[in-house]
């Protein structure tokens, strides 16, 4: 309860364009909450609004007792919300290790850098081998792993993952989802954005369906699997 | 043979002077895609501040250097607060900040002109005397400049590669949004980068004026040359620009000796055009502008 | 009424109003200053085509202007060519120079173009100022090929002195008006032409435009070359009008003054540069009394405009018009 991420009546957008409106949802602490929805309906925008990359126009975002909305991105991370962005956004001219260390940039995270780095290497062993490779030269799957690993380095309270399977080969997607399942078992609070509804339904405790910038349906993963008409209308499955 | 060493010595000195003025520009462009056209005026300000502290207030050289660096760093922060900061996220930032800093530089130059007058002044922060090594005459001042440049470059490299703040600067340069998501306060980074660049401009203004003299518009030519060097290296490549500065210094020394001082600027320009036709992104540049 | 019709009408109105100015203003000073306004406005209207429409961040316009002026003056001085011939020759030389420059720099990425073009004009300045070898030795003293620091004078005029006597400046006034009117008409034609539309497409969606076969380089070279004609011609006319051409036309202050005009007026519009030229000349006039503070004021004006009014005065007018128009629209709807 104390660490739930609560979004109420949120509106956000870019310039004259409004993307999200009247959006209310809760992501419970220690659970995996999935946001699904068709391409271009505002999933990424939601995560960017939460992490402070774009401004919240109206409404409120809270993490436990902290009010997050209105804070700049750098202050949001400091409150423990970690955003692993769509398309990774690595630091291309830094090595893998440097990228990971950037994840622990804030003093609180920097203090536990060594131990967390070991944990990340255990979870994503491939990164240890690639430690000194320049990020620009990594493959897509490796980049994704660096992105997730960099997010883990922040030791936050909530981990937000934006389309972790996007553009990867099926076998790599399996690997990534195994990692996410492991994080879930470890009791991490995770907010997962995923276009692939079946995948999200299979792993999530709670699923929210985003349609034209607002919440259309909520339920458990199992409930979603039992609603073929939803899947058909919104997700073309 | 003596001629060879003489050219080498003066070329390296020129290169060292250029390196100090160029890395500041390259750093700012690398971190924030900003061409700071008031860099030349900042150089003049630094030179005059050293003069004012030493000749006007009668303080020792260390104070002169310190005051000059601090004042110019402060003006760098001011440029961030008043000009670059407010337009940072808007469309056409690169062009607008270019034009705005031209205006700011012109303003600063006029202020200097009003405060100190149009007559040339000698730079007091300079060392007289020279060494003769095997028939090659080396002014002590030139050796000092060379040493100063090496120390500054090493310090900057250390700062960028090893320190926490250096990592923040590089991260911001490579991906601004990602840096913010890591908790980097990019506003602070930008202000700091402009402050560092301002401080470097002050040192560079002092070295340039110690080789000639102080004039309100003394920064114009060195700034353009620094930009030429940046272009040759590839905009925003900090280590590359040091190499390019030394190369251009040597090139200019050779041209001055063989063709004449009058054509040194023109031949530099010719060189840039050739470089750009050969490599449109500069020698060390890469197509997509990721730097530092 | 289409936008093009409106602009043509405005241009006609402007030219007609300007026809009568020398008759109502009996001060010679205000008439000659207006002639300078015509010259600077012509330069910035053309610069705007390159910068605002073509999207080429070139700072070479001042150099192109200066080439027009120098070629005209040198033809008159050395060969005694009539100014009626020398002026178009200056313009053609400017076009040739700009095409060479365009081929060298148009394939480069924006900031490189700005740096390269600014360097070219500074180098020309340095070469001229540092040239001390005498090319000829007239009674007035040594004359370097490009005039050196002193520049050229007494190379001829358009004959208004013989014809109109002391009122010759009025003849120059009308030539200037003709020049600016032609330059504005050319700018209107370009902005509303398929080429202008292609540029808008390039600006709004480069990938799509490239897919539609819009060849950016070719269009840019065209606009670069064509605009240089009027820029060079205004340089040529500047030479004739002032009777002196010196390296000051290359100077950085001059560049700054003209750049401020476009930026303050509004980049990429038909009337922005004209308005900007008028505003800057008036501001310059107003600050003449301020002496040393004038340069500071000019710099401050430029900085403040760029930071506070990104779309210049025309952008400000448009926003204001939209704000006033809105309530009226909703009234009409109900
Ligand atoms: N930087 C931006 N500027 C303007 N509009 C944007 C930007 N990013 C996304 N949009 C628009 O916002 C809407 C939602 O996009 P997004 O949140 O990325 O969707 P999703 O992540 O669900 O695919 C889309 O219509 C998109 O075009
Ligand atoms: Mg998305």
Q: Which of A3-12, C87-96, C131-140 is predicted least confidently? A: C131-140
pLDDT mean over A145-159:
94
pTM for the full model? 0.89
Min Cα distance A40 → chain B (Å) is 20
What lies within 8 Å, CB to CB, of B53 at 6+ separation is B59, B63, B64, B67, B68
Which is the closest atom of ligand 1 to the Cα of A38? Answer: 22
In whole angstroms, what is the distance from residue C41 CA to residue C276 CA? 8
DSSP states of C267-282: TTSSSHHHHHHHHHHH
- Taking only the tens place, the pLDDT of each residue in B21-62 is 999 999 999 898 899 999 999 999 999 999 999 998 988 988
Residue of A nearest to B162 (CA): A98
Q: Of B19, B35, B28, B39, whose CA–CA distance to B173 is shortest? A: B28
Task: Examine the pLDDT at B289 and tell me if it is beyond 50.
Answer: no
pLDDT of B292 reads: 46
Query: What is the residue with the minimal CA distance to atom 1 of ligand 1?
Result: A14
The residue written with tokens 């399996």 in the block is: A174
B in contact with C (at least 3 C-beta pairs within 8 A): yes
Task: Examine the pLDDT at B284 and tell me if it is beyond 80.
Answer: no
In whole angstroms, what is the distance from residue B156 CA to residue B20 CA? 11
The verdict on the CB of residue A103 being under 6 Å from ligand 1 is: no
Task: Examine the pLDDT at A237 and tell me if it is beyond 70.
Answer: no
Tokens of B197: 């660049």
Task: Examine the pLDDT at B128 and tell me if it is beyond 80.
Answer: no
The verdict on the CB of residue A130 being under 6 Å from ligand 1 is: no
Positive or negative torsion for Cα C106, C109, C115, C116: negative
Cβ contact A105–B184 (<8 Å): yes
A170-185 and A140-152 helices, crossing angle to 10°: 10
Which is the closest atom of ligand 1 to the Cα of A213? Answer: 14
The verdict on the CB of residue A39 being under 6 Å from ligand 1 is: yes
Partners of residue A8 on adjacent β-strands: A60
Q: Of A199, A218, C306, C36, whose CA–CA distance to B82 is shortest? A: C306
Q: Which ligand has its closest atom nearest to the C-alpha of A85?
A: 2
Higher pLDDT, A22 or A225: A22
Mutate to test the pocket of ligand 1, among A35, A39, A42 (most ligand atoms within 8 A of CB): A42
Query: What is the residue with the minimal CA distance to atom 19 of ligand 1?
Result: A40
What is the band of C206 on the pLDDT scale with cuts at 50, 70, 90?
A: low
Sheet strands side by side (includes A32-36): A81-84, A158-162, A189-193, A32-36, A206-211, A214-219
In whole angstroms, what is the distance from residue B234 CA to residue B286 CA? 8
pLDDT of C331 reads: 39
Query: What is the residue with the minimal CA distance to atom 24 of ligand 1?
Result: A40
What lies within 8 Å, CB to CB, of C114 at 6+ separation is B35, B95, B98, C57, C58, C59
In a 10 Å sphere around its CB, with 0-12 CB exposed, 13-18 middle and 19+ buried, how is residue B250 labelled? Answer: middle
Residue of C nearest to B287 (CA): C109
Q: Which residues of chain B make contact with A103, given a CB cutoff of 8 A?
A: 182
The verdict on the CB of residue A14 being under 6 Å from ligand 1 is: yes
Residue of B nearest to C305 (CA): B100
Residues in chain A: 237
Which is the closest atom of ligand 1 to the Cα of A37? Answer: 22
Task: Mark B50-70 as b/e (b = at least 16 C-beta within 10 Å).
Answer: bbbbbeeeeeeeeebbbbbbe
Residue of B nearest to C301 (CA): B103
What stretch of H or E contains B138?
Answer: strand B136-139
Parallel, antiparallel or unpaired: strands A81-84 and A158-162: parallel
Query: What is the residue with the minimal CA distance to atom 6 of ligand 1?
Result: A14
Mean pLDDT of chain C: 82
CB C250 within 8 A of CB C121: yes
Best probe of the B interface among A47, A72, A73, by most B CBs < 10 A, is A73
Partners of residue A82 on adjacent β-strands: A159
Tokens of A169: 């080969």
The helix, strand and coil proportions of chain C, stated in percent and rounded to the nearest 5, come to 80, 0, 20
Cβ contact A93–B164 (<8 Å): no
Min Cα distance A79 → chain B (Å) is 10
Parallel, antiparallel or unpaired: strands A206-211 and A32-36: parallel
Tokens of B183: 């908790």
Q: Which of A147-151, B64-68, C122-126 is predicted least confidently? A: C122-126
Task: Examine the pLDDT at B291 and tell me if it is beyond 50.
Answer: no
Helices and strands (H and E) in chain B: how many: 12, 2
Range among B9-18, B71-80, B84-93, C266-275 rated most confident: B71-80
Which is the closest atom of ligand 1 to the Cα of A41? Answer: 22
Q: Of A109, A93, A6, A111, whose CA–CA distance to A50 is shortest? A: A6
Q: Which ligand has its closest atom nearest to the C-alpha of A87?
A: 2
pLDDT mean over C139-166:
76
pLDDT of C28 reads: 76
Higher pLDDT, B192 or B274: B192
B188 vs A: CB within 8 A: no
Which is the closest atom of ligand 1 to the Cα of A46? Answer: 17
Higher pLDDT, C70 or A1: C70
- Taking only the tens place, the pLDDT of each residue in A122-135 is 999 999 999 999 99
Task: Examine the pLDDT at C263 and tell me if it is beyond 50.
Answer: yes
Query: E strands, chain A, where?
Result: 5-14, 17-27, 32-36, 58-63, 66-67, 81-84, 158-162, 189-193, 206-211, 214-219
Task: Examine the pLDDT at A197 and tell me if it is beyond 90.
Answer: no
pLDDT of C214 reads: 66
Task: Examine the pLDDT at C249 and tell me if it is beyond 70.
Answer: yes
The verdict on the CB of residue A43 being under 6 Å from ligand 1 is: yes
Q: Calculate Rg over the CA atoms of chain B.
A: 19
C-alpha to C-alpha distances, C208 to A14, C55, C191, nearest whole angstrom: 22, 17, 20
* Percent residues over pLDDT 90 in chain A: 71
pLDDT of C330 reads: 41
Tokens of C170: 């009025």
Task: Examine the pLDDT at C334 and tell me if it is beyond 70.
Answer: no
* Percent residues over pLDDT 70 in chain C: 93
C in contact with A (at least 3 C-beta pairs within 8 A): no
C103 vs B: CB within 8 A: no
pLDDT mean over C97-110:
83
B50 vs A: CB within 8 A: no
What is the band of A191 on the pLDDT scale with cuts at 50, 70, 90?
A: very high
C-alpha to C-alpha distances, A170 to A145, A162, C292, nearest whole angstrom: 15, 17, 71
Tokens of A56: 């919240």
C248 vs B: CB within 8 A: no
What is the band of C105 on the pLDDT scale with cuts at 50, 70, 90?
A: confident
pLDDT of B80 reads: 96
Instruction: List all residues of chain A from 39 to 58 with a beta carbon under 8 Å from chain B.
Output: 51-53
The residue written with tokens 């004021």 in the block is: C297
The helix, strand and coil proportions of chain B, stated in percent and rounded to the nearest 5, come to 75, 5, 20
In whole angstroms, what is the distance from residue B290 CA to residue B288 CA? 6
C-alpha to C-alpha distances, C191 to C44, C94, C137, nearest whole angstrom: 15, 22, 49
The verdict on the CB of residue A44 being under 6 Å from ligand 1 is: yes
Q: Tell whether domain A5-235 is in CATH 3.90.950.10.
A: no
pLDDT mean over A12-35:
91
Count CB neighbours of A188 within 10 A. 18
- Taking only the tens place, the pLDDT of each residue in C4-34 is 888 888 888 888 887 777 777 777 788 888 8
Ligand 2 centroid–CA A66 distance in Å is 26
pLDDT of A183 reads: 93
Three-state DSSP state, C109: coil
What is the band of A193 on the pLDDT scale with cuts at 50, 70, 90?
A: very high
Q: Of C158, C151, C176, whose CA–CA distance to C245 is shortest? A: C151
pLDDT of C333 reads: 37
- Taking only the tens place, the pLDDT of each residue in C279-317 is 988 888 888 888 778 888 888 888 998 898 888 888 888
Ligand 1 centroid–CA A22 distance in Å is 17
pLDDT mean over B146-153:
91
Higher pLDDT, C218 or C178: C178
In whole angstroms, what is the distance from residue C130 CA to residue C144 CA? 10
CB C307 within 8 A of CB B87: yes
Tokens of C159: 């004959």
Q: Which ligand has its closest atom nearest to the C-alpha of A17?
A: 1
pLDDT of B261 reads: 78
The verdict on the CB of residue A42 being under 6 Å from ligand 1 is: yes
Q: Which residues of chain B make contact with C118, given a CB cutoff of 8 A?
A: 224, 227
Q: Find the CB nearest B178 among A89, A98, A101.
A: A89
pLDDT of C210 reads: 67
The verdict on the CB of residue A45 being under 6 Å from ligand 1 is: yes
Q: Which residues of chain B make contact with C306, given a CB cutoff of 8 A?
A: 83, 87, 96, 99-100, 103
Query: What is the residue with the minimal CA distance to atom 16 of ligand 1?
Result: A42
Mean pLDDT of chain B: 88
In whole angstroms, what is the distance from residue A110 CA to residue A104 CA? 5
Cβ contact C303–B103 (<8 Å): yes
pLDDT of B272 reads: 82
What lies within 8 Å, CB to CB, of B239 at 6+ separation is B157, B284
What lies within 8 Å, CB to CB, of C264 at 6+ separation is C276, C279, C280, C301, C302, C305, C309, C312, C313
Task: Examine the pLDDT at C212 and tell me if it is beyond 70.
Answer: no
Query: E strands, chain C, where?
Result: 152-153, 244-245
Which is the closest atom of ligand 1 to the Cα of A15? Answer: 4
Higher pLDDT, A237 or A202: A202
In whole angstroms, what is the distance from residue C307 CA to residue C146 CA? 39
A101 vs B: CB within 8 A: yes
Higher pLDDT, B89 or C224: C224
What is the band of B288 on the pLDDT scale with cuts at 50, 70, 90?
A: very low
Phi, psi for A154 (deg, rounded to 5) = -75, -10
Which is the closest atom of ligand 1 to the Cα of A14? Answer: 4
Q: Name all domains of chain B by residue range, CATH numbers in brackets.
A: 2-278 (1.10.3470)
pLDDT of A82 reads: 95
Ligand 1 centroid–CA C122 distance in Å is 45
C120 vs B: CB within 8 A: yes
A86 vs B: CB within 8 A: no
């Amino acid at each position: 309860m104390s660490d739930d991420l609560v979004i109420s009546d949120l509106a956000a957008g870019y310039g004259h364009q409004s993307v999200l409106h009247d959006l209310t949802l809760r992501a419970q602490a220690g659970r995996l909450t999935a946001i699904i929805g068709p391409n271009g309906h505002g999933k990424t925008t939601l995560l960017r609004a939460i992490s402070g990359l774009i401004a919240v126009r109206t409404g409120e975002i809270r993490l436990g007792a902290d009010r997050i909305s209105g804070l700049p991105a750098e202050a949001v991370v400091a409150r423990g919300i970690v955003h692993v962005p769509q398309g990774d956004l690595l630091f291309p001219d830094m090595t893998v290790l440097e990228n990971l260390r950037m994840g622990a940039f804030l003093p609180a995270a920097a203090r536990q850098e060594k131990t967390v780095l070991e944990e990340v290497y255990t979870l994503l062993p491939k990164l240890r081998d690639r430690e000194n490779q320049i990020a620009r030269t990594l493959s897509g799957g490796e980049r994704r792993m660096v992105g997730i690993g960099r997010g883990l380095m922040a030791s936050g309270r909530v981990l937000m993952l934006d389309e972790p399977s996007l553009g990867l080969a099926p076998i790599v997607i399996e690997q990534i989802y195994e990692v996410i399942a492991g994080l879930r078992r470890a009791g991490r609070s995770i907010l997962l954005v995923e276009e692939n509804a079946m995948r999200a339904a299979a792993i999530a405790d709670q699923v929210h369906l985003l349609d034209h910038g607002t919440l259309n349906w909520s339920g458990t993963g199992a409930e979603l699997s039992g609603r073929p008409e939803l899947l058909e209308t919104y997700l073309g499955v | 043979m003596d001629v060879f060493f003489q050219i080498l010595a003066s070329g390296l000195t020129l290169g060292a002077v250029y390196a100090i003025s160029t890395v500041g520009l390259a750093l700012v462009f690398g971190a924030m895609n900003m061409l700071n056209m008031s860099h030349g005026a900042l150089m003049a300000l630094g030179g005059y501040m050293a003069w004012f502290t030493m000749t006007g207030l009668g303080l020792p050289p260390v104070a002169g250097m310190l005051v000059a660096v601090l004042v110019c760093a402060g003006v760098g922060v001011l440029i961030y607060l008043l000009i670059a900061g407010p337009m940072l996220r808007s469309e056409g930032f690169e062009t607008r900040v270019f034009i705005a800093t031209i205006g700011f530089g012109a303003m600063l130059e006029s202020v200097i002109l009003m405060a100190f007058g149009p007559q040339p002044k000698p730079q007091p922060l300079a060392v007289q005397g020279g060494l003769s090594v095997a028939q090659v005459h080396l002014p002590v001042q030139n050796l000092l400049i060379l040493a100063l440049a090496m120390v500054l470059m090493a310090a900057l490299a250390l700062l960028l590669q090893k320190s926490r703040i250096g990592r923040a600067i590089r991260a911001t340069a490579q991906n601004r949004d990602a840096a913010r998501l890591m908790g980097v306060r990019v506003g602070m980074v930008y202000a700091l980068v402009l402050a560092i660049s301002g401080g470097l401009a002050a040192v560079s203004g002092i070295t340039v004026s110690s080789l000639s003299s102080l004039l309100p518009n003394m920064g114009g030519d060195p700034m353009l040359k620094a930009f030429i060097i940046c272009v040759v290296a590839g905009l925003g490549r900090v280590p590359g620009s040091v190499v390019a500065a030394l190369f251009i210094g040597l090139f200019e020394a050779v041209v001055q000796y063989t063709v004449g001082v009058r054509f040194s600027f023109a031949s530099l320009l010719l060189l840039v055009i050739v470089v750009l036709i050969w490599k449109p992104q500069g020698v060390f540049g890469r197509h997509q502008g990721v730097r530092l | 009424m289409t936008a093009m019709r409106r602009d043509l009408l405005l241009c006609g109105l402007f030219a007609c109003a300007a026809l009568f100015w020398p008759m109502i203003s009996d001060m010679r000073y205000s008439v000659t200053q207006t002639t300078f306004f015509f010259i600077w406005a012509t330069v910035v209207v053309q610069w705007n085509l390159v910068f605002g429409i073509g999207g080429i961040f070139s700072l070479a316009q001042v150099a192109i202007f200066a080439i027009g002026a120098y070629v005209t003056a040198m033809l008159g001085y050395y060969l005694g060519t009539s100014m009626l011939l020398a002026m178009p020759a200056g313009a053609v030389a400017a076009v040739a120079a700009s095409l060479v420059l365009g081929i060298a720099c148009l394939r480069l990425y924006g900031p490189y173009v700005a740096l390269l073009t600014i360097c070219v004009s500074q180098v020309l300045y340095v070469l001229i100022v540092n040239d001390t070898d005498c090319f000829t030795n007239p009674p007035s003293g040594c004359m370097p090929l490009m005039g050196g620091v002193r520049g050229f004078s007494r190379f001829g005029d358009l004959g208004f002195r013989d014809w109109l006597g002391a009122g010759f400046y009025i003849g120059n006034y009308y030539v200037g008006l003709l020049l600016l009117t032609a330059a504005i008409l050319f700018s209107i034609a370009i902005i509303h032409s398929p080429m202008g539309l292609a540029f808008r497409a390039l600006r709004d969606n480069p990938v799509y435009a490239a897919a539609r076969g819009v060849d950016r380089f070719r269009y840019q070279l065209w606009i670069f070359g064509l605009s240089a004609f009027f820029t060079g011609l205004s340089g040529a006319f500047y030479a004739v009008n002032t009777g002196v051409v010196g390296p000051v036309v290359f100077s950085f202050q001059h560049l700054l003054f003209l750049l401020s005009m476009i930026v303050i007026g509004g980049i990429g519009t038909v009337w922005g540069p004209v308005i900007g030229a008028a505003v800057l000349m008036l501001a310059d006039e107003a600050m003449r009394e301020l002496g040393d503070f004038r340069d500071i004021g000019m710099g401050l004006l430029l900085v403040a405009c760029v930071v506070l009014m990104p779309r210049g005065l025309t952008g400000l007018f448009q926003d204001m018009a939209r704000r006033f128009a809105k309530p009226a629209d909703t009234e009409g709807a109900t």
